Structures are given as structure tokens and as C-alpha cells.
Amino acid sequence: MIPAKTNPISTTTIREKDVESIVDWFDQHKQSFYILGWSYLSNQKQMEELFYRSIIQVQKEWPRYKNKTPFETWGTSIFIYNCRELSGDRSLQASEDSEPRQELFKALDQLKESEREAMVLTYIQGFSQEEAAHLLQVSAEKMKELLASGIQSLRNEMRPESTFNGCKEYKKDYIYYLERAMDRQKKIDFEIHIYHCQDCQEDLAAFQDVMLTMLDLTNLIEDLHVPYGFMEKVRARLTEKEIHRQQKNKKRKRMGLVFASVFALLMGVGFFTGAFAYVYYTWTEEDPELRYFLQQDLGKRLNLEAEDDGVKVKIKSVIADDVQTLVIYEIEDTGEDNQFVMNFGYGDGVFVENEYEIMSRETYPRFYPPDLESDINNKEKNVFKGKMSLLPLKEESGTIKLTITKLQKLIRDSSGRSGYWNYDNIENKTGEWSFEIPVTKRPSTEYALDDEVTEIEGIPLRFDKLIIAPTTTILQFGINNERIVKRIDSLNINNLEVNNKKIKAQMYGSSFWHSQQDVNWATYQTHFDPLFGEKPKEVHVQFKSANLTVEDTFIIELDDIREYPHTFEYAGSTISIDRMEVGDSTNFVLSNHEVENREYEWLQFNIVNESSFIDMNSEGVIVDKNGVVYEINNMPVPYEEIEQPRHLSTVQSVRFQGKNVNPKSLEIYGYSTTKYLDDVVKISLE
């Protein structure tokens, strides 16, 4: 139950396997972390978000990790940080989805946060007081105070009618004494006082009762099991993130050549109309994205350079707004024919030394995967041009002290697929490239959409605002979460059409937004390519797909089944209970190999029994929008070539511990599904 005590993770393994080894470690300790999460949170939606965020953050913060602290302690501290963040995030708190609290958690909810954390880590999670103090970043003495005050607060809750008149100077020693941590002479003095003081005797006895009650109630929490399929849902979200990361960018069309006579005419006109910069950059900047920013006067050419071990890094320009600080760079290998990219962006070998002084932490940097198909990145074998997102500036201007310590070598896939990046054999280039970059933030424009409401799959959808920033265009919208039978977990938008111009949604374009106007609405933002021009009069939103959870309870009494396999109908499919083998352990297997036109992707179920499961496994396939099936085991799966993939389970199995365990019933709560959309909604801005 204690993550710091079992199955230590190898830091070498993390470097080799990256996020997968982190997911495996969380999977190994999911029971312990699940209980820890419930001491802060109150529903499954929050719990899934908690595990997902923690895994992503451990991966992101890995370059900063120092081996001076055990990985288990470091990882747990990140988990606790996310517990705190989510416990105050009202957008994930829906009373309809809240579950009954364990009695111990109800009692702990009455404590101050610092007292509750000290109690949970010490008495429920089983950390030593020194480890818990390190996690909470308090001194050992402060840890003792928090435990003592927490127990006293619980005692007052449990015995509200009692009065406790123990001597104040001895109260702080109760824990030392009961945990047998006192030195011999102090223990003798303490016991002499207790022997002669009736009030302290009663106070100490009540204090000890609370500690014993904590231990008894802690044992009851063992019944709080991680639901079947919980980690699979977290993995599915991570898989979706990986799919988006590997998808290729669409080719940008290069501008056609202009007749020399037209160029001469425009150059002449430019001196009088201000069009000179536009024409100049049209002919002198080959990077179409940077050319666009320069033509709009949103950035300036910087061409800052730093070189180490034959690799030259050039910062070509920086465009900043309230959403992000976009760095456009070029990397050249001056000695060999290698292409290098920033290691998946900010945080992985890329750091801003003065981040806390000049940058806002109210948002997260965007992720931009390398553009492997563009002409400019296929022109020279030793040069790569890309972009990277940093946090936005706090003030209108500033100087960013950027340090790069690691670059990633670009290895094209041997299969020859255009634009495919080989993720299996990663090579890094270490060094140090430092820059001081002057930056000026550009303004953004917001358009209120007057909370216009439509429906997707019968669920209300509200449009809040359109934000046009220099580096991106953002549509903010809300999804109603009052209905619990069917709910939208995520909504994917294909494009926006503004002023007769279509702009595509960016990779990693959808995000959860923390600002919450109404507890019944979850707010999201989708990012699109930049948009400039005259004031928009109307917006057309074209949807792509919706990921839903459908609650549909179905119960099968297993005692009534006489032979296996046993089939039943659910969600429009014929599902088979292949077998239930009872012996030294019990194996339960569900399967459905029919994937054509299938309604559900994953079943959410529980098996009622007298023993806890010890092993869960699943098999599945990926099916694209056109019904083409991809076997997951046939790696590498060409995610970048799959159109709107669905991950369908074909086999879900559970193994229970103990001899002759006889499960009583199969309870299916519901299922997850994806609906492809082609809806277009028109929104007027006038």
C-alpha cells in the first residue's frame, strides 16, 4: 500500500521507455494512489483526471528530477500537488457524480488541509513521519505538531460532549510517548506526571483511542478498490495524446512566383502605401509561417545564434501574446548531415532561467510536433526549422534568458513513409546553447458569443467567446454536465470558417479551461491556426467527433449460467462470457470480436464477489472512420495515417485471488463510445 516501500523504479528505465514506464509504475501503485486521491476528491471524473495529469507532469518534469530524492517520494509529491489543484477545481466537481464518502474521509474532511495531509500520509499511506514531512516540505517538529493537532481535532469531532483538560505543556508529547519515540529519561518524567494527573490520564486515553480508531478505519479503506477499467481509461487518454503527437501536419502551399514586372510595380507602390514590408518578406523569407508573422508586423527577425560541438542553434524570431510566447528556431549541424529538433518542446532540455520573474503560470505552453513534411525541412539534410511554445509574459515586454541543454536527433522511419518520425530509436545531442531574447507582447481581441446554445447528441453546448490572438485563434465553449445517463467527455472540432476563411484546429488543440461560470457546465477551449483581417461578422463551427460515456445498467446473475461460453445482448452487440474458471484462482473472460458498426468501445463493469481481483488484462484493435481495422500488436501502428481512430476492446479479462472464488454477478454500468459528427453551427457576432 505504500508507494515508497515497494517496487522501486529504475531511472535508467524511464530514460529508455519514457512515459510507458511511468504509466506502469502508477499502475503498480494505483490502489495506494487511488486511496490517497479519495482523501481529496469526491468523484470518478476527478480521479481519472488526477492520474492523467500526474503521469503527464511526471514525464514533463523528469529532466528536472535529481536522484538525491527517491523517485517514489518525488512522484508522490507531484501526485499530491495535483490532488490539491483538482480539489479546488469546481469544473470537475459535479454533485450528481459524487460518491458516498468513507467514514474516515468524512472525518478527515473536517480538518485543516495541512492536518489532513499529515494524517493521510502517515496513518493511511504508511509513510514515516520523516518521509511525510519531506513530501509536505515541513520540518520534523512541524510534522509532529500537525499530527497532534489533527488527532485532537478528530477527537473533538468524535467526542463533542467531552472536555479535555490535560496539561498544555504535555499535550505535545502524546505522540512521542504513544509511538515510543521518547528518550528514557523524558519517558520516566512523562509517566510520573501522568500517574499523578487525572486530567492528563483521561486526555491521553482519549488521544490514544483516536489513533487506534484511525488504524481500524484505515483497514476498512482496503475495501475501496480501483474500479475495473480505471487505468485503461487513463491509458486510452494517453494513447490519444500520443496519436495526436504523431500525426503529421498538412502541407502548407508555397506561394507562387510573381512576374518580375508585378514585383517591380509593388516595390514602387510600397514606398507610398506601407506595403513594402509585405512584399519584402514575400521574397526574402522562405518559411511560410514566419513570413506570415513578419508581414503582419507581429515579430522581428532576430537571428540570434549559439553553437556547441558543431551544432548551431538560431532563434529566428519570437511572437508573444497573452496565450503563449512562440519561438521560431532553426538548427544546423555544421559537421554532418543530421537534423535536430527541440526535445518535444519546453521543459525537455529547454529552460527559461528567469521564468518565475517574467512569465505567467496561469496557462500551459502549447505543444507543436515537428513538421516533417514541409518543403523547408526536406530541402537540406542538416537543417531543421521548427517552433516551440513558452509561457506568456507577465508584462508587456521583457528579456527571456533561454538555455537549451539537449536536442533530439531526427530519425526518419526506414519504411519510407512520408513525414513519419521513428520514436523507437531516440538519440539526443547534449550541449549548452544560451540566449537573451528581447520580447514584446502583442494584444489579442475577444468577441463575446452571448452564450449561444446548440445541442450535440442531445447534450446542450454553449459558445462563450472567440479569442483572436497573434499566435492562435481560440474558441471557448461549455458542455452541460447535468445529464448523467449520457455525457460528453471531449468534443473535437474540425475547423472554423471566419470571413470565408477556414482555419484548422491545432494538434493538442482542445484543453480543459479552469475558469468556471456555472457548476453545471464544463468549459473547454480549442486552439486553431492564427487568423487576421477585418472584424469577423459570423463564425461557422464544423464539428469532427464527440467522445461520450453512456450509463446503461445491465446485470447478469452468474449462478444462473449453466455452461460457457454464454452470450447476451448489450448496446446492440452480442457479447460472450467465454469462461469462468474456478480453481487456485478464478479467471473471468468477456469478449466481442465483432467490430463492424459497433456502438461501444469499452465496457465499464464490476464483478460482485467475495475476493478482490489481482489481475486485469485487455486486448483490442484500432478502427478508423472508414471501418479499416489495425492490429495494435503489429507495431508500429501508423497513427499519423489513421483517420479519426477508435480503440475497440475485443477481450476484457479479470483474475481473482483465492481458491474456489465464485463471482456472484456481472454488473455492467455503461460504456464509452465515439460519435462522428458533420454538424456545422453558425454563430453571428453582430
Contacts of 631 (CB under 8 A, 6+ apart): 621
Chain center to CA of 23:
12
Determine the Cα–Cα distance for residues 323 and 474; give it in Å rounded to an integer: 9
Contacts of 66 (CB under 8 A, 6+ apart): none
Residue 346: pLDDT over 60: no
Contact 420, 413 (CB under 8 A): yes
Contacts of 36 (CB under 8 A, 6+ apart): 76, 79, 80, 83, 120, 121, 124, 125
Of 399, 288, 386, nearest to 344 by C-alpha is 386
Higher pLDDT, 585 or 437: 437
Assign 273 a pLDDT band (cuts: 50, 70, 90).
very low
Amino acid at 647: H
Long-range contacts of 154-158 (CB under 8 A, 24+ apart): 154/107, 154/108, 154/110, 154/111, 154/119, 154/210, 154/214, 155/206, 155/207, 155/209, 155/210, 157/107, 157/110, 158/107, 158/210, 158/213
Determine the Cα–Cα distance for residues 304 and 324; give it in Å rounded to an integer: 20
- Of the listed ranges 99-113, 261-275, 307-321, 323-337, the least confidently predicted one is 261-275
Structure confidence by residue, pLDDT tens digits, 291-339: 888 888 888 888 899 999 999 999 999 999 999 999 999 999 998 989 9
Torsion angle defined by CA atoms of residues 459, 463, 468 and 473, in that order, rounded to the nearest 10 degrees: 0
Residue 530: pLDDT over 70: yes
Structure confidence by residue, pLDDT tens digits, 157-214: 766 666 666 787 777 677 767 767 677 777 777 777 877 787 777 777 777 777 776 6
State which H helix or E strand residue 269 sits in.
Answer: helix 260-273
Contact 281, 414 (CB under 8 A): no
Determine the Cα–Cα distance for residues 184 and 67; give it in Å rounded to an integer: 37
Residue 573: pLDDT over 70: yes
Higher pLDDT, 230 or 4: 230
Q: pTM for the full model?
A: 0.59
Cα–Cα distance list, 503 to 178, 279, 472, 474 (Å):
67, 24, 10, 11
The DSSP 8-state label assigned to residue 637 in this structure reads: P
Higher pLDDT, 646 or 124: 646
Contact 376, 397 (CB under 8 A): no
pLDDT at 248: 43
Mean pLDDT, range 465-487, rounded to an integer: 88
Torsion angle defined by CA atoms of residues 612, 618, 624 and 630, in that order, rounded to the nearest 10 degrees: 170
Residue 508: pLDDT over 70: no
Cα–Cα distance list, 53 to 45, 57, 162, 223, 411 (Å):
12, 6, 44, 25, 29
Cα–Cα distance list, 660 to 223, 225, 614, 663 (Å):
20, 21, 15, 10
Residue burial 358-380, b: 16+ Cβ < 10 Å; e: rest: bbeeeeebbbbbbbbbbebbeee
Cα–Cα distance list, 432 to 309, 330, 686 (Å):
9, 15, 52
Structure confidence by residue, pLDDT tens digits, 398-420: 999 999 999 988 876 555 443 44
| Domains, the chain, ordered by start | 11-223 (no CATH), 287-440 (2.60.40), 445-545+678-684 (2.60.40), 549-676 (no CATH)
Q: Which three cell numbers stand for residue 114?
A: 495541512
Contact 573, 595 (CB under 8 A): no
Q: Which three cell numbers stand for residue 68?
A: 538525491
Q: Let me know if 426 is exposed, middle or buried by CB neighbors in 10 A (0-12, 13-18, 19+).
A: middle
Please count the other Cβ atoms lying within 10 Å of the Cβ belonging to residue 225. 14
Which SS3 state, helix, strand or coil, does residue 543 take? Answer: strand
pLDDT at 249: 41
DSSP 132-194: HHHHHT--HHHHHHHHHHHHHHHHHHH-TT------HHHHTTHHHHHTT-S-HHHHHHHHHHH
Cell numbers 480503440 correspond to 647
DSSP 58-117: HHHHGGG--TTS-HHHHHHHHHHHHHHHHHT-GGG--GGGB-PPPHHHHHHTTS-HHHHH
Cell numbers 467465454 correspond to 578
Contacts of 535 (CB under 8 A, 6+ apart): 685
Cα–Cα distance list, 191 to 201, 204, 205, 597 (Å):
10, 11, 13, 75
Contact 577, 590 (CB under 8 A): yes
Structure confidence by residue, pLDDT tens digits, 218-227: 555 555 678 8
Q: Which three cell numbers stand for residue 389?
A: 511554445
pLDDT at 637: 60
pLDDT at 522: 84
Of 116, 95, 92, nearest to 40 by C-alpha is 116
